[in-house]
A and B are shown apart, each in its own frame.
Chain A
Amino acid sequence: DTEVTQTPKHLVMGMTNKKSLKCEQHMGHRAMYWYKQKAKKPPELMFVYSYEKLSINESVPSRFSPECPNSSLLNLHLHALQPEDSALYLCASSQRGTSGYEQYFGPGTRLTVT
């Protein structure tokens, strides 16, 4: 199984809502990533978990809160988002959280903040 799954596919939320994005992989990968991608732009790294520990936080606002319950699951909790946070949120995994490994991406969650 070389698939990374993400739910939901689409999410519309108000600025006062709390929601969560979910990501799952069953490839035995020990590193998982969250990226944000705005339209016609490249993906931008938000968070990296390596061996279930947060290893990189790219100065992301606290209204985004990542969680890694176990080595297969990655969540992104959303609270009090702004309209400019509307984007495609991509999850990825790689065999190790070190240099030299390709990343496997999920299909993304299209988030719209109203």
Chain B
Amino acid sequence: SQQGEEDPQALSIQEGENATMNCSYKTSINNLQWYRQNSGRGLVHLILIRSNEREKHSGRLRVTLDTSKKSSSLLITASRAADTASYFCATDWGSQGNLIFGKGTKLSVKP
């Protein structure tokens, strides 16, 4: 399976703290994307990092990609209660843009 693995599976932090989630994958990729899913709802795209990029920022989000280790991390700084959600990495490895999602990290931010 090319499915990514995220760790930790669950993360509980206080508001204002930083949250770091990691993703590992198995095959060569074109790019890696991160998505957020609030409980039982649709996914929201957060950020896309291409295979030739090492780091990308978007607001309070920082994503790194290490293709030699086949891993990525998502850092959310100064977390808020509204960041409570499940976070999935998704690898884009073929020519047709289909994504393979990792197992996800469930983040809980306590006010």
Q: Min CB distance, B107 to chain A, in Å?
A: 14
Q: Which of B66-74, B75-83, B90-98 contacts A (4 or more CB under 8 A)?
A: B90-98
Give which listed residue, B43, B95, B100, contacts A105 with CB less than 8 A: B43
Chain A residue at minimal CB-CB distance from B42: A105
Q: Min CB distance, A45 to chain B, in Å?
A: 6
Query: Which chain B positions have C-beta within 8 A of A42?
Result: 3, 88, 101-104
Interface residues on B, range: 20 to 34
The docked-state distance in angstroms from the alpha carbon of A96 to that of B96 is 9
A43 & B101 in contact (Cβ 8 Å cutoff):
yes
A4 & B94 in contact (Cβ 8 Å cutoff):
no
Chain A residue at minimal CB-CB distance from B92: A99
Q: Min CB distance, B46 to chain A, in Å?
A: 9
B98 & A33 in contact (Cβ 8 Å cutoff):
yes
Q: Is A11 part of the contact surface with B, judged by Cβ < 8 Å? A: no
The docked-state distance in angstroms from the alpha carbon of A55 to that of B95 is 11
B43 & A48 in contact (Cβ 8 Å cutoff):
no
B31 & A99 in contact (Cβ 8 Å cutoff):
yes
Q: Min CB distance, A101 to chain B, in Å?
A: 6
Chain B residue at minimal CB-CB distance from A106: B42
A contact residues vs B (CB 8 Å cutoff): 4, 31, 33, 41-45, 48, 50, 55-56, 88, 90, 92, 94, 96-108, 110
